[in-house]
């Protein structure tokens, strides 16, 4: 397809991504999906090629690319291997809190986080609270200079593979005044329900008391195992607080605004992969003495798919350009995530239909695409939550 990119450098980056996608991703995806194994080395290769820190400035170890370019890289990766594209998106999301809200000390970690050696995970959801993120119950109790974190996080991408976690938890908030008196004694802390009582901590995965559980048995995206993570009085240094005490929910929402665009880009790439495969198959497949591509029933399905993908991509890029311009884009990201992932579900389902019985068996990738599309309508805010965000903006 003919992409419009803002700089010659961006064209080179997309070309490099295409080489990686064809050389490193496409040959491996089926094996890793069949084994349900996370491709840590492939992610490292992607990181060393500079693709794990694309939208962050060069001075903190990123690649200084506009979001609209970063998202087209994610899209291209997703067209070959969704789990890898999702890993890039989730990692990029996981770097956001420290980048945007971390103090000087925490920001010193950014080059390692963005350089590809350290992989991040984002721990917001809990078993009893997914859509209602502000109801989370994981608690952090300050003990001297250390928070002891206890609770359970759920649906965590990279649970067992990550090197660092953003942990959203109830630290309590100061009961008026500063958290500490001048003498350094702990001031009164109140644990309050709702968004205002939530803070963000950056935890090392190797912290004692943090235990990723067995991976969930998922419908698709099997090479990206998700799991619960149990925290049992896990000690996290108090200086790993990201942003202000009680400011964690806003950080989580801001990060998700950008993350939802990553998921939307994944959906565009997945749908494009399904369409490309269906077109190639339809051209070769003959019934009634001619290529099935000659039948209007097939042609219209493919034309609708191509139109939906183009519209989804345009929404994703429009939201990205607002973000790049420093303008509010929360509702636009929600629209893009909603539309792109619903489009991916429809296009991948139709791709299976174009292949008929062959579409339903694992000899062709379209049944995988269809299973993978489903999860994109759910992660980083269900599409019903996206509608709430859009409706609120009206």
Report how far residue 170's alpha carbon sits from residue 248's, in angstroms, rounded to the nearest whole number: 9
**C-beta of 225 vs 365, nearer to ligand COS:** 225
Q: At what angle do helices 67-80 and 248-284 cross, to 10 degrees?
A: 50
**C-beta of 28 vs 222, nearer to ligand COS:** 222
Per the CB < 8 A criterion, the answer to whether 290 and 349 are in contact is: no
Report how far residue 63's alpha carbon sits from residue 115's, in angstroms, rounded to the nearest whole number: 10
**C-beta of 134 vs 238, nearer to ligand COS:** 134
At its nearest, how many Å lie between ligand COS and the CB of residue 130?
Answer: 6
Report how far residue 32's alpha carbon sits from residue 40's, in angstroms, rounded to the nearest whole number: 11
**C-beta of 245 vs 389, nearer to ligand COS:** 389
Phi and psi of 259, rounded to 5°? Answer: -65, -35
Per the CB < 8 A criterion, the answer to whether 91 and 116 are in contact is: no
Report how far residue 206's alpha carbon sits from residue 204's, in angstroms, rounded to the nearest whole number: 5
Report how far residue 240's alpha carbon sits from residue 194's, in angstroms, rounded to the nearest whole number: 22
**C-beta of 17 vs 386, nearer to ligand COS:** 386
Report how far residue 134's alpha carbon sits from residue 170's, in angstroms, rounded to the nearest whole number: 10
**Half-sphere exposure at residue 119, Cβ-oriented, CA atoms within 13 angstroms:** 24
Report how far residue 153's alpha carbon sits from residue 166's, in angstroms, rounded to the nearest whole number: 11
**C-beta of 229 vs 298, nearer to ligand COS:** 229
130 contacts: CB under 8 Å, gap ≥ 6: 154, 155, 382
**C-beta of 208 vs 326, nearer to ligand COS:** 326
Q: Is 306 helix (H, G, I), strand (E, B) or coil?
A: helix
**C-beta of 370 vs 376, nearer to ligand COS:** 376
Nearest partner of 331 among 319, 339, 317, judged by Cα: 319
Q: Given the rule CB under 6 A, which residues bind ligand COS?
A: 122, 124-125, 130-131, 133-134, 155, 195, 249-250, 253-254, 256-257, 330, 379-381, 385, 388-389
* Residue 58, token pair as written in the block: 């060069």
Residues recognised as catalytic = 380
At its nearest, how many Å lie between ligand COS and the CB of residue 251?
Answer: 8
Residue nearest to ligand COS (CB): 381
Q: How many residues does the chain have?
A: 394
50 contacts: CB under 8 Å, gap ≥ 6: 63, 116
At its nearest, how many Å lie between ligand COS and the CB of residue 304?
Answer: 29
88 contacts: CB under 8 Å, gap ≥ 6: 43, 46, 51, 52, 73, 74, 77, 262
* Residue 356, token pair as written in the block: 């008929």
**Half-sphere exposure at residue 163, Cβ-oriented, CA atoms within 13 angstroms:** 15
């Amino acid at each position: 397809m003919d992409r419009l990119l803002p700089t010659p450098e961006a064209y080179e980056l997309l070309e490099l991504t295409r080489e990686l996608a064809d050389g490193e991703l496409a040959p491996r995806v089926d094996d890793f999906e069949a084994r349900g194994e996370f491709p840590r080395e492939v992610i490292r290769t992607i990181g060393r090629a500079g693709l794990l820190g694309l939208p962050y400035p060069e001075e903190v170890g990123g690649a200084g690319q506009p979001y609209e370019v970063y998202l087209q890289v994610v899209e291209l990766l997703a067209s070959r291997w969704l789990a890898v594209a999702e890993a890039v998106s989730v990692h990029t999301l996981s770097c956001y809190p420290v980048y945007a809200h971390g103090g000087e000390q925490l920001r010193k970690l950014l080059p390692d986080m963005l350089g590809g050696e350290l992989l991040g995970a984002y721990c917001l959801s809990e078993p009893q609270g997914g859509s209602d993120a502000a109801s989370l119950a994981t608690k952090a109790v300050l003990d001297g200079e250390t928070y002891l974190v206890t609770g359970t996080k759920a649906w965590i991408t990279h649970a067992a593979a990550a090197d660092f976690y953003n942990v959203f938890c109830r630290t309590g908030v100061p009961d008026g005044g500063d958290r500490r008196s001048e003498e350094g004694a702990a001031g009164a802390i109140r644990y309050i329900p709702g968004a205002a009582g939530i803070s963000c901590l950056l935890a090392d995965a190797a912290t004692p008391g943090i235990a990723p559980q067995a991976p969930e048995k998922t419908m698709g995206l099997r090479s990206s195992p998700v799991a619960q993570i149990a925290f049992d009085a896990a000690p996290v240094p108090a200086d790993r607080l990201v942003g202000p005490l009680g400011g964690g929910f806003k950080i989580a929402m801001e990060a998700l605004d950008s993350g939802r665009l990553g998921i939307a880009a994944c959906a565009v790439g997945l749908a494009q992969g399904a369409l490309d495969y269906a077109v190639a198959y339809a051209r070769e497949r003959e019934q009634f003495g001619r290529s099935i591509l000659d039948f209007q029933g097939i042609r219209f399905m493919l034309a609708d798919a191509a139109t939906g993908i183009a519209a989804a991509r345009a929404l994703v890029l429009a939201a990205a350009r607002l973000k790049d311009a420093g303008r509010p884009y929360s509702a636009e990201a929600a629209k893009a995530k909603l539309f792109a992932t619903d489009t991916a579900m429809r296009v991948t389902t139709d791709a299976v239909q174009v292949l008929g019985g062959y579409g339903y068996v694992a000899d062709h990738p379209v049944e995988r695409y269809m299973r993978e599309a489903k999860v994109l309508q759910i992660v980083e805010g269900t599409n019903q939550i996206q509608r709430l965000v859009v409706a609120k903006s009206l």
